[in-house]
Structure 1
Amino acid sequence: MPFVGRQRELRQLTAALSRPPVVILIEGEAGVGKTRLLHELAGHPMLIGRCHPMRFPYGPIVEALRDTCPPADLNPVTGALRPFLPEFAQLLPPAPPPLPDPQVERHRLFRAVLSLLGSLQPITLVVEDAHWVDPGTRQLLAFLARCLPEAVNLVVTYRAEDLAHPVAELLAHLPPHIDHAELALAPLDAGETALLAGHLLPEPRDLWPLTRGVPFAVEELARMLAEGREPGTPPALRDAVLLKLGSLPLAARRLVQAAAVLPEPTGQRTLTAVAGVPPEQGERGLAEAVRRGLLWESPPGRYGLRQPLTRQALCDSITPAARRRLNRRIDGPPQPQGTLSPREEQVVRLAADGLTNREIAEDLFLSPRTVEVHVANALRKLGLSSRRQLRTT
């Protein structure tokens, strides 16, 4: 995939790595380009390991070290790594005898990793997807961050929305000689998205409204279009969305599904009512859905899907019975005088924007007659005599 829109971040990362030892944290949502940014680095030898949802003990460190070629005359303590690195165990010193205290044994293992990294310098250890870090690796990274040798760097990437433990704790209590930096990768803007799409498609297409500038989504959607398929949610993105949806608490999951059937961002009260979630649970569920990156607040006070491409995947996750319940709540029961139903609020907002009944019907998948009834009811409840007055309410 072409490298677009990350030149400033690449310069910042390159400059930081040129001042070892340094600890660098790179944050960004799934598919935003953290790994691609690292691949653009030139002249910086790296060892890369990835955390996994299964959280294998010391998994990313073992993955990073297993392809190394250790030099001769290693510190005897590196022999503690023999059970973890059978790929080149014969090149390591003999394994030291076991120790009775697990804490002391762990400290020896940490020292072994530190010593091996020091023998490979200059080197940058990269641990990706630290939101899935296992407890052992988390402790090891905290140890390494405070003890980095002179020509060794540590880079950690993560997704804030999936974080269980604060990655920033790695920066706490660093000694004066170890520098640190933090980079946050945002999605591409509309111009950068158009530039990326131009590299991937023979004819220009505006992919920003569907992808919101997430490079992975742009690439996957462009692939679908290039293959002649109708634009929709790419399978990889669909699976990631459904996995994240399944990990949400029930209230948050219902709020996200309600947002998927609503055509535009809506207020917390309306969204909670459509989802059928009690208000006290709705506030917590909404906060969690926003934190996990499935919903976002735009404009202020209104919540909708963070990425429009995810709508189809979310709608497919709703059972027919649940969909009927959601639609009944959107249409709403008769409301007290002056109180608009969620559907009436949608119709009023579109009518206030100057849309005709037919245009509103097409936008909301209703019949023009139903829209006419909603407009009439809304005018009556609001005490207005014409739809032109809606533009000033």
Structure 2
Amino acid sequence: MPFVGRERELRHLADALARPPIVVLIEGEAGVGKTRLLHELAGQPLLVGGCHPMRFPYGPLVEALRQSHPPARLNPVTGALRPLLPEFAHRLPPAPPALGNAQVERHRLFRAVLSLLDALSPVTLVVEDVHWIDQETRELLAFLVRCLPGTVNLVLTYRAEDLRHPASELLAHLPPHIGHTELTLSPLDAEATALLAKHLLPGSADLWPLTGGVPLAVEELARMLADGREPSTPPALRDAVRVKLDALRPTARRIVQAAAMLEEPAPTLTLAAAAGLPPEQGERGLAEAVRRGLLREWTPGAYGLRQPLTRQAVRESITPNLRRRISRRIEAPAEPQGALSPREKQVIGLAADGMTNKAIAESLFLSPRTVEVHVANGLRKLGLTSRRQLSSRNT
């Protein structure tokens, strides 16, 4: 796949790695191009290992070190790596005797990794998908970041929405001589998406509205079109979305399903009503869905799926009976409940004129959250379920 739209990020990463020792964190959603960015580093000696959902102990370190070429003479402590790297038994010193203490032997293993990296330097150790890190590798990285040799870098890639152990915790106790930087990869903008599509397809096609600029989605959709197939949810994306849905608590899953059935981003109370949940449960479900990266806040107080293809994948996962129930809740007008307060009338009037929550907040010197609450309460009291209904009622 052509490399487009990441020139600034590539320069930033290359400049950072030119100043060892440094710890670099690269964050971005699935398919956004974290691995591809690393592959574009020219002339950088990299040892790359990836964490696995099954969380194999020391798995990414073993994978990375297996790519190395250990020199002939190594510190005797590196013999402790023989059980993890039997294919290098002829290159490693003899295994040191057992110490009878698990903690002491673990420290010796950590020192062995550090010594081997020093012998291989200059080098950059890359650990991908840190959101799946195992406990043993997590502790080893916590040791390494505090004592990186002078010509060794450490790069960690992760998806923030799937990360239970914040990668930034590794930076909490860095010594002054070890630098650090963080890089966030966002989806491509419309122009870069069009350029990527132009490289992948013989004709022109606007893939940004469907893909939201996620390069992997652009590539898969372009492949469908090039094969003469109708554009649909790419199987890899569909499966990834369903895995994420299955991992959610029931209330969060219902919120995501309701968001997929709505035609536009909606406030918390609208999502909760469409999902058939009380407001308090709806708020908790929404918070989890946002944290896990399925929903995002498009405008202040309005939440929806991150990209159209994700929305389509969620819709395809909803059973017909559940789809009908959600649709009935969306289409059925709510029962009017009470009179509007003066402030609610003011906010609702501006919302009916098409102003966003942010614009209303700035106009009335309120917080966006307060405006969201007033809009939601006003819609409920008027028996409406969306701002679109409010605008129609005003015309």
Residue 372 of structure 2 aligns with which residue? none
Residue 274 of structure 2 aligns with which residue? 274
Q: Which amino acid aligns with 2:127?
A: V
Deviation at 1:112, TM superposition (A): 0.4
CA distance in 2, matches of 1:388, 1:94: 77
Residue 250 of structure 2 aligns with which residue? 250
Give the number of aligned pairs: 355
Q: 1:105 to 1:323 in 2, by over 3 A?
A: same
Percentage identity across aligned positions?
A: 72
Deviation at 1:144, TM superposition (A): 0.7
- Alpha-carbon RMSD across the aligned residues, in angstroms, is 2.4
The within-5 A match list for 1:291-330 is 291-330=291-330
CA distance in 1, matches of 2:263, 2:298: 14
**Superposed CA offset, 1:146-176 (max 9, x none):** 1111111100000000001010111122112
Residue 17 of structure 2 aligns with which residue? 17
Residue 3 of structure 1 aligns with which residue? 3
CA distance in 2, matches of 1:64, 1:35: 14
- Contact between 1:352 and 1:390, CA under 8 Å: does it hold in 2? no
Q: 1:234 to 1:89 in 2, by over 3 A?
A: same
Residue 232 of structure 1 pairs with residue 225 of structure 2: no
CA distance in 1, matches of 2:353, 2:236: 38
TM-score normalised to the size of structure 2? Answer: 0.85
Residue 109 of structure 1 aligns with which residue? 109
Deviation at 1:333, TM superposition (A): 6.1
CA distance in 2, matches of 1:271, 1:337: 18
**Superposed CA offset, 1:301-341 (max 9, x none):** 111111110223212221222222212212226623789xx
Residue 52 of structure 1 aligns with which residue? 52
CA distance in 2, matches of 1:204, 1:39: 27
Residue 42 of structure 2 aligns with which residue? 42
Residue 377 of structure 2 aligns with which residue? none
CA distance in 1, matches of 2:54, 2:391: 58
Q: 1:350 to 1:33 in 2, by over 3 A?
A: farther
Residue 29 of structure 2 aligns with which residue? 29
CA distance in 1, matches of 2:354, 2:16: 52
CA distance in 1, matches of 2:317, 2:51: 28
- Contact between 2:58 and 2:137, CA under 8 Å: does it hold in 1? yes
Deviation at 1:94, TM superposition (A): 0.8
Residue 67 of structure 1 pairs with residue 78 of structure 2: no
Residue 151 of structure 1 pairs with residue 138 of structure 2: no
- Contact between 1:131 and 1:159, CA under 8 Å: does it hold in 2? yes
Residue 88 of structure 1 aligns with which residue? 88
Q: Which amino acid aligns with 1:60?
A: P
Q: 1:122 to 1:254 in 2, by over 3 A?
A: same
The within-5 A match list for 1:190-229 is 190-229=190-229
Q: 1:270 to 1:389 in 2, by over 3 A?
A: closer
Q: Secondary structure, in 3 states, of the residue corresponding to 2:119?
A: helix
Q: Select between 321-330 and 143-152 the one with higher mean Cα deviation.
A: 321-330
CA distance in 1, matches of 2:354, 2:284: 32
CA distance in 2, matches of 1:390, 1:317: 31
Q: Secondary structure, in 3 states, of the residue corresponding to 1:126?
A: strand
CA distance in 2, matches of 1:224, 1:351: 42
CA distance in 1, matches of 2:227, 2:157: 32
Residue 166 of structure 2 aligns with which residue? 166
The within-5 A match list for 1:128-139 is 128-139=128-139
Q: Which amino acid aligns with 2:269?
A: R
Q: Select between 132-141 and 260-269 the one with higher mean Cα deviation.
A: 260-269
Deviation at 1:179, TM superposition (A): 1.1
- Contact between 2:46 and 2:125, CA under 8 Å: does it hold in 1? yes
- Contact between 1:295 and 1:303, CA under 8 Å: does it hold in 2? yes
- Contact between 2:233 and 2:309, CA under 8 Å: does it hold in 1? yes
CA distance in 2, matches of 1:77, 1:5: 45
CA distance in 2, matches of 1:323, 1:15: 51
Q: 1:117 to 1:337 in 2, by over 3 A?
A: closer
CA distance in 2, matches of 1:185, 1:311: 21
Deviation at 1:381, TM superposition (A): 7.1
Residue 97 of structure 1 aligns with which residue? 97
Q: Secondary structure, in 3 states, of the residue corresponding to 1:43?
A: coil
- Contact between 1:188 and 1:213, CA under 8 Å: does it hold in 2? yes
Q: 1:390 to 1:75 in 2, by over 3 A?
A: same
Q: 1:88 to 1:331 in 2, by over 3 A?
A: same
Q: Secondary structure, in 3 states, of the residue corresponding to 2:296?
A: strand
The within-5 A match list for 1:378-389 is none
- Contact between 1:338 and 1:381, CA under 8 Å: does it hold in 2? no
CA distance in 2, matches of 1:337, 1:68: 69
**Superposed CA offset, 1:268-326 (max 9, x none):** 11110111122211111101111111111112211111111022321222122222221
Q: Select between 42-51 and 327-336 the one with higher mean Cα deviation.
A: 327-336
